[in-house]
Structure 1
């Protein structure tokens, strides 16, 4: 009978030992959340510390990487273990020189907070603040400023022409001088890091209305001189001088004589027949180095006559 009791005691002791061992293993097993680079996963582990968990999961930390809690922290059921990998990024703020930063911040916004950088309301952050950090990422904070700029510009006047049959075709007379108006334009100018990138016209205000010019325009194509009607194509107002014999032929090869005049061929082609007020009929057969633009040089018989002619403004009719 005593032997049977001893056997029962031994069996009961074994069962208690197994129960204790099972309870111990169950106590050591725990489920924790492991977050690496922002990604969560549930892990069932028998590790007792954070360091053992990382070793168990094959996670090696580099010098600038961080883990929370610390490696010697004991694991408990439901604990969150966060591994933050360090990234080497480049940051440029405004016109400052680009700098290289090693950080465990998860995204661009956290990095800027870490660096005590607060973008203004209109500043631009590239890439977007929510962008996840990766090695080699280039981050730029663009300082945006706006200024209002006022600019006064001329408003051109128009010209109104009044035909006149009392004036030769080709001639004009100003009846009223024109005057430009004045406009004030207001621009919103946008700068990125001090450089203008956009200009928006926000307002236009007329300070002075333009005053139109009024010009009388000749339409007549005939004149009467000495009882003779002279038909012409158009007339020019020119500065006239006179010259006499020089001993040379004209530019067209003709001998100089009364009625031969020198002109600028760009204004009056050589060979053109003319009528010159105060001189008479003439032909453009010569040119000269000083005869440029609306100038004409008239041949006369003597130096005395040339001196008496002097310099005059005349009407020249192109026949």
Structure 2
């Protein structure tokens, strides 16, 4: 017995004093250390044996479910404390045992970005905040999108202007590049910042010069004669432009040079203008009768006939083609041939030719009476 007592006294801290199915467990909680010898299988069982109760938010290391599988085992219990957490738009109180302010904020349910700034402080003025204790403040970074060189970058920043955002992300502008919005614009949440790359290129294009139809009236040739003096042939020009590009897309072009490669050959038609003897008097009589029938001012009717066809009932204006019908103004008062049949039928001259001066004059006077005089360019 004496020998045994000596042995126990000499080795008071030896693991030989702990049975093989038990562990020496040390718990740090509430600022104090407490040690027991226990056969507890998990951290949670050890805490129950030591009557240490966990509250909401308390943190245990290792976790309660961890197995105690060493002869010497340490457990730390960190007590949760109320912390006021705010990100400027939302404020909440969380019971947390974390000391790192970012961990406290995440424990409170705030979604943090790496650019968000999280700081801890102590609130002493209870009346001002209706709370006393620790506070965690989240200064959230402003979220923007940067569109540059065909890519979109989701960016977060604490800078104040577009220029500062570009500097932060290492984006440089060349001489003529610009941004939308401008560099001095203040940054706002969800702002889109576009970098416009400005470039230019010189482009040369060969363009066709369409020929025109020119009609010449020869009063020495009999009326009704039409002959082609020269066929038309398109010309060619070489045009050089300086093209301005924004992000590779053309936004404008400026003429640099314009040179004729091949001269245009206009089509020339000669028409006879010689009216048979006495025809003028006949035409004047036809106009007078039609004007009287529809109560139209005679002087006006004569003036417009002279303007439209120079009293020529067979006149055709080949310089104008009506797009919808593909026909030309014709006759004494220059009715478009494609419209003539319906007009003639309406005023009692169904089937008459547009070159019939009587029909042409009467249909015209009837249309003027009914309010269609505005269709004629001559006044």
TM-score, normalisation: structure 1: 0.41
Structure with a larger share of its residues in helix: 2
TM-score, normalisation: structure 2: 0.35
